[in-house]
Amino acid sequence: MNLSKLYIDGQWEAWAGKTLPVHEAATGDVLAQVPAASEKEMKRAVAAANTAFESWSESSLEQRIKILEQLHAGLKARSSEIAEAISREVGMPIKLATQIQAGLPAAITESYLKLLPQFPFTEQVGNSEIQYAPVGVVGCITPWNYPLHQVILKVVPALAAGCTVVLKPSEIAPTSAYILAEILDDTDLPAGCFNLVSGLGQVVGDALIRHPDVRMVSFTGSTRTGHLVAHAAADDFKRFALEMGGKSASIVLPDADLKAAVKGTVNNCLLNSGQTCTALTRLLVPEDRHDEACELAAEAVAKMTPGNPLEETTRLGPLASAEQRDKVLDFIRLGSAEGATLVAGGPEAPEGLTEGYFVRATVFGNVKPDSRIAQEEIFGPVLCVIPYKDEADAIRIANGTAYGLSGAVWSGDGEKARAVAGKMRTGQVFVNGGAFNPLAPFGGFGHSGVGREFGKWGLEEFLEVRSLQL
């Protein structure tokens, strides 16, 4: 599809200015060009959203539900196109991309269709009527690793709340955002309620964050960029929600099924080639089972040989960009320099895959909890195995980073696992491999974020509370 355009005030605008290349992760080839828009285009998009807000904020719940039903149908109809586009840009194997990258956006939209009729937009407390009002124009800045999923987590509840939206998608993986814009253009959504402006974060992203008519910023990305977003938003007292990095720990208690725990942790760690903010990248095991855990981890990653993400049998694809690949390789070299034991993988290119952005699945053992590879988010297929002395030591290590997005606990005793999970300073914990729940709140402690997404908590982020004293 042609990406050389912007979507502003219900109209597609051809772009003849400077563009940014979009690369295929498996080959490095240029797939498309997207506009490198300027502050001028972003200002027009915000103006359109601000004008549209007056009427959309007063739209009926039935009208908003109708739009989301049309969106849901469009997402389902274009599922295979979405999956292939993201597989090419990000590198997630097509089988997983179909289930996750294309499947989750439709599922999340459907979840809000079920939630909205029951949500109390007004409620009575004593002599007061409590009203939940849309916050205003929302600026959404989204990442490349789950490009449509992260957009949907913002756009759907924002529109459902009665807000209007300006989206700045990642220039690394923008195609699915354009597909979304096409779907919304075919719905009955009024002009100006959704706008898409592509470009560099330091140009159009900064203009979006700082615009006085933008009343909330919803951002997903790195902690470093989130820090800048928070400061810029605070200058104008804007609301903001930030979902950022993670360095999640998977605690294996002494009575756990070690083989199942290691397998579950490795599968989670390597999902999307480790390009997942919730990835379980630190495997904490009892000292006397460290070597056994390393052997099991090596066996597990040996089955994850990198390959063409468009092939149905591939389980580990490339990283999304040359920059990300080089960053991960630097961390792998650093791990060895810091004294960790290289158990599997390494910085060499995978056999037969010299093109594209491939990295071998890598496991380090005897990792020191305070080392850089145990403290910093690598965002690649790298697992750190860390031995601990006792339960208190495991909890201390798990909580010993600036992050707090996700985690896991494994134990033969469910109540013991829940007790340990309750001591982890993190936004979600998988207990003995519990399934991800899209209706539960998602977000982090500490440097992992501010605010929550999914379910009613995701909707409430886009609402202001007002009380009428009667």
243 is an active site residue: yes
Contact (Cβ atoms closer than 8 angstroms) between residue 228 and residue 222: no
| Block residue for tokens 């093109």 | 355
Catalytic entry in 41, 84, 171, 243: 243
Dihedral sign for Cα atoms in the order 273, 337, 363, 225: negative
Check if 376 is active-site: no
Alpha-carbon torsion (344, 348, 351, 357), positive or negative: positive
- Candidate list 163, 277, 294, 384, residue with the active-site label: 277
First to last CA, the chain: 55
For β-strands 280-286 and 341-344, DSSP reports them as: unpaired
DSSP assignment, residue 302? H
Q: Which residue has the tokens 């496991």?
A: 363
Nearest to 25 by CA among 354, 357, 308, 275: 357
> Which residues lie below 8 Å from residue 225, measured CB to CB, with a gap of 6+?
201, 219
Distance of alpha carbon 67 from alpha carbon 8, whole angstroms: 18
CB 219 within 8 A of CB 75: no
Q: What is the DSSP string of 50-100?
A: HHHHHHHTT--HHHHHHHHHHHHHHHHHTHHHHHHHHHHHH---HHHIIII
Query: What are the catalytic residues?
Result: 243, 277
